[in-house]
Structure 1
Amino acid sequence: MASAEVKVAFVSNHNGTTLTEVSLGSFLAPVCFLSRGLFLIVFHLGKGVLPFSWGVHLLLDFTTLIMPLVLSCTVLSDILHYVIIGIAVVDFVVLYLLYKNRKHPYQGSLRRFVQSRVESNLVPFVTVFRVLVNVKTAISILAVDFSVFPRRYAKTETYGTGVMDFGVGAYVMANALVCPEARGKNIQGSKITHVFKQVISVWPLVLLGFVRLASVKSSGYHEHVTEYGVHWNFFFTLAIVKVVASSLLAVFPVNSSWLLALLIGGTYQVVLETTDLKSFLIYNNERSGFLQANREGIFSVVGYIAIYMAGVQVGHYLMQSRNLVKDWIRVIRNLLLSSFGLFCALYVCQISTEPVSRRMANLSFCVWTVAQALLFLSCISIADILLLFSKAVSNFSFVSVSWCPYQNKKSLTDEKMKKSMDALCLVQSVNRNQLLYFLLANLMTGLTNVLVNTLNSSDVLAVSVLLSYMFMNSLVIFILHINKITIKFW
């Protein structure tokens, strides 16, 4: 087995990749999600019987949604653009054939479709975004220990844009999108009581943080100290971000979240530029005392709070009630425009201040994370709109985790079919137990590193291990879902 020091060196001192390559990854998962839905629709139109058995549904979802993501960050990373183009071409050919062969010409009219109503109490593409961020995180935390995983995708040491750097910020953003404040839930009781409840509510994250700390220290598991520090980890960051953000939102209106995000991120950057804080975070080699030992984790919390507040603003906008397709097309347009505007702002930030730094979670990192997250959301929402159109054309509405054309009346058979398809969906499975899925991935990552010599594994072995690891995670979470088990002990 490779020593802990060798493994630390393997994941350290990287400079990331280009903004374009990170952005390219935002297109793969949406086209795969669309492929899965189109397959079910075409299978139904071919007189196939749905739903399948639970094993077949699990295999279908794993093959169409997870396997491409594993391959894209390993053996197919150098030809990712060809993979995306290939899948997208197939998807659009299928869409065209569905449109061309529709039974009623008026049924698939684009104008009629844009003016039609959608039926969903939730925003499906937000659910898909959160699940895919979780899945990509699960893949990356183990894949980074294998040589088949490109080093340019790994977390950067000081400056740069690595795929895993975005994953950390996206995870914070994903939590913010569906927080109570974003969903419009009113504060019950006094504001002080509300804040106290938020402090109590994060105890599982704090506990998990201490459990991870104890297990890492006791097992001698390799640690990248400059990532968060000697004792700090991401669970502590999540807990503090949640409490601070909830406290701010108890005082300020949700509509001002974007302004708070800008003020927090901007002020933090000013402090970095005008004080010795930047030198303290980057160039100080001392690790004596709690603050010095964990400086990256402690001070980067400020940047993650800014990202969280921006996510609350986006979530509040997306959770507003909309019933028409044209309204959601307008939302997608606004998401794309916002993403483009933030990428322009990122260009200005990097010229006028400094490059993106996950280690400090500086202003450039915050702007990049939100811009990239909005691009990813936009791509998923476009895939969802295309899937909705294919449902309208085919008159088959039972693809799970996506919008459905509005129906005045539903038969009992339709309701039963919808529930059956939802119960046999891997995306719904992960969504039911997201924190458990994240924990399971962390546990399996540690176990795999103990059992497998990751650094010296061949590409074939590495991909096989990654696929097996992701399948086991999926199997556990899928079995819990079909048995309607939600693991929530708080």
Structure 2
Amino acid sequence: MSEKLLKEAFVSNLNGTSPTEIIVGLSVPPLCMLCRGLLLILYHLQHGELSYSWKSHLLMDFLLLVVPLVFGCTILSDILILVPTSIASLASILLYKIYRTRHNNIKVPLQTIIKTFRERNIDSKTIPSVTILRVFINILTTICILAVDFPLFPRHYAKTETYGTGFMDFGVGGFIFVNALVSPEVRQGHDLLNSRFPIVTKQLLSIWPLIFLGIGRLISIKATGYHEHVSEYGVHWNFFFTLAVVRLVASLILMFFPVNNSWIIAVSIGIFYQLLLETTKLKIFILSGGDSRDSRVGFLNANREGIFSLFGYVAIYMAGVQVGLYVLKKRSLVKDWIKVACFLLLSSLMLFIFFILLHIFVERASRRLANLTFCIWILVQCLFFLSFILLSDLALVFAEHLVNKGNVPCSWNLSKIPNTSGAKHSSEKKSLKDVPNTSGAKHSSEKKSLKDVLQVPDLSLIDAVARNQLLFFLQSNVITGLINMSIDTINCGTFFSLVVLLLYMFCNCSIMYWLHIKNITFKCW
């Protein structure tokens, strides 16, 4: 058997893992972000000013945000539960130490601190959690697309053949969901009625790079004989085509339906498509081909998975638009964002129950079909991921509130407490205002905030990747191809594989970081 066929077989006929294991894995990135922020705050409290070069910031973020994800997907996968547990324990210790440092300087009851914190204003012009969600899905996908070709990567994390839930299956749906969160329809919101045609025009202009990349990927794979999993999208189809068509179709649909009813459209498409699968021969056609022998004759037959899965991905996109409208709604108080995080988490739990019912009584989740069960599963994972990122960010903001300092990179900015009447609130405001600097320095209006002291609001890996996300994904695909053509990945040992993965991720991150500090953005639409 040729090397090409061996590599195709290596990533084929897999059944995935449990949804709960994927949830455990998705809890790692938010906890890494929390620990990073707490370490920065604690360092400043104990050692004062922190000033490093951009190379040091890159190394710090890589070690704290990327390396744990690489380890969790590889050598620590058998004891995955210990990864978030250990990081959460470290975060709790850091938060307690920050609280004790503050508590030693001023005696304020914890209940008063929490109550004051809930009334704090935060800068909601941007929602850091949405950016973090998009970036981490991109980083996790980047890790997996190369790691899957090494024995080091657990086979049950790879994409499933027909039914099941693999960690890499989430990446496909997650990309669709996060694109919907920041879509033009979400950003325009209630003003969409007067700007529907311009939005469709904008989508037409924005998807051409995806079409170009899809064609480029198709030509390069066919020309080089690179191994491919045909049952993933088909002979000629790929994810770039899927993303482009989904964005365009969704914009066309929202020309005729209110954007606030996107959830109704999502439910209608999902149920309609599932009924087609159950009551017609469509399911047999997608899984077995027109002759029930898995033939690939004709364009529709050759690309049946990629074409018909569009139904499911459009439903996911519409659901993402609805979530985006809710999350990106303007809010200013911490307590309002606590409600948002709790609502998203509760919604995730409710959908998880619905997912279990569909799994038992209707059909198992299938990435290949993009059936209703798969769509619900993607929403469960995305809502959980987003809610956990939001809760972690709020925990970081609480730590900033404890020391009465400014923001750390990739988190909210705290602002002054809103003016309200009542002596009780005035006393709470006074208690916060009188918090002294832990170093004993006199508080003044000229005192630097943590954001100013750190001098790194823009020097963060999250901001760097967020600046050029499509380029990050594209370059990772190119580097993955080059590594696969240079190395016999399926026969590599554990240590060598891990070194290659870490160097590969560091290379990807370094390029994005260098572009970021040079203020270079690749956007041609």
- 1:292 deviates by 0.3
The match for 1:298 is 307
Q: 1:416 to 1:82 in 2, by over 3 A?
A: closer
Give the AA of the match of 1:403. W
Task: Name the SS for the 2:80 alignment partner.
Answer: helix
1:125 aligns with one of 103, 106, 129: 129
The match for 1:16 is 16
Separation in structure 2 between the aligned mates of residue 301 and residue 470 of structure 1, nearest angstrom: 31
The match for 1:97 is 97
Separation in structure 1 between the aligned mates of residue 353 and residue 68 of structure 2, nearest angstrom: 31
Task: Name the SS for the 2:309 alignment partner.
Answer: helix
1:403 aligns with one of 412, 417, 421: 412
1:351 aligns with one of 353, 357, 360: 360
Runs in 1 of length 4+ with deviation above 4 angstroms? 187-190, 408-416
The match for 1:135 is 139
The match for 1:85 is 85
Separation in structure 1 between the aligned mates of residue 446 and residue 243 of structure 2, nearest angstrom: 44
Deviations 1:247-267 (A, max 9, x none): 112221121011110000110
Contact 1:107 1:393 in 2 (8 A): no
- Whether 1:468 aligns to 2:503 is yes
The match for 2:181 is 177
Contact 1:357 1:364 in 2 (8 A): yes
Contact 2:124 2:330 in 1 (8 A): no
Q: 1:188 to 1:211 in 2, by over 3 A?
A: farther
Structure 2 stretches lacking a partner, 5+ long: 418-443
Bigger drift between 25-34 and 94-103 goes to: 94-103
- 1:413 deviates by 5.6
Give the AA of the match of 1:222. H
Contact 2:406 2:451 in 1 (8 A): no
Give the AA of the match of 2:354. A
Structure 1 stretches lacking a partner, 5+ long: none
Contact 1:205 1:236 in 2 (8 A): yes
Separation in structure 2 between the aligned mates of residue 326 and residue 39 of structure 1, nearest angstrom: 25
Give the AA of the match of 1:228. Y
The match for 1:113 is 117
Separation in structure 2 between the aligned mates of residue 444 and residue 50 of structure 1, nearest angstrom: 34
- 1:96 deviates by 1.2
1:242 aligns with one of 243, 247, 252: 247
Bigger drift between 291-300 and 113-122 goes to: 113-122
- Whether 1:366 aligns to 2:371 is no
Q: Give the share of equivalent positions with the same residue, in percent.
A: 50
- Whether 1:336 aligns to 2:345 is yes
- 1:352 deviates by 2.4
- Whether 1:287 aligns to 2:296 is yes
Q: How does 1:409-424 map to 2 (within 5 A)?
A: 414=449, 417=452, 420-424=455-459
Contact 1:67 1:467 in 2 (8 A): yes
- 1:190 deviates by 6.3
Q: 1:224 to 1:164 in 2, by over 3 A?
A: same
The match for 2:422 is none
Separation in structure 2 between the aligned mates of residue 281 and residue 457 of structure 1, nearest angstrom: 35
- Whether 1:251 aligns to 2:253 is no
Q: How does 1:211-230 map to 2 (within 5 A)?
A: 211-230=216-235
Q: 1:107 to 1:124 in 2, by over 3 A?
A: farther
The TM-score normalised by the length of structure 2 is: 0.90
The structure whose Rg is larger is: 2
Q: How does 1:382-393 map to 2 (within 5 A)?
A: 382-393=391-402
Deviations 1:68-108 (A, max 9, x none): 00010100001111121111111101111211221334496
Contact 2:15 2:162 in 1 (8 A): yes
- 1:111 deviates by 1.2
- 1:128 deviates by 0.5
Separation in structure 2 between the aligned mates of residue 169 and residue 116 of structure 1, nearest angstrom: 35
Separation in structure 2 between the aligned mates of residue 449 and residue 75 of structure 1, nearest angstrom: 20
Task: Name the SS for the 2:31 alignment partner.
Answer: helix
Contact 1:13 1:157 in 2 (8 A): yes
Separation in structure 1 between the aligned mates of residue 92 and residue 45 of structure 2, nearest angstrom: 17
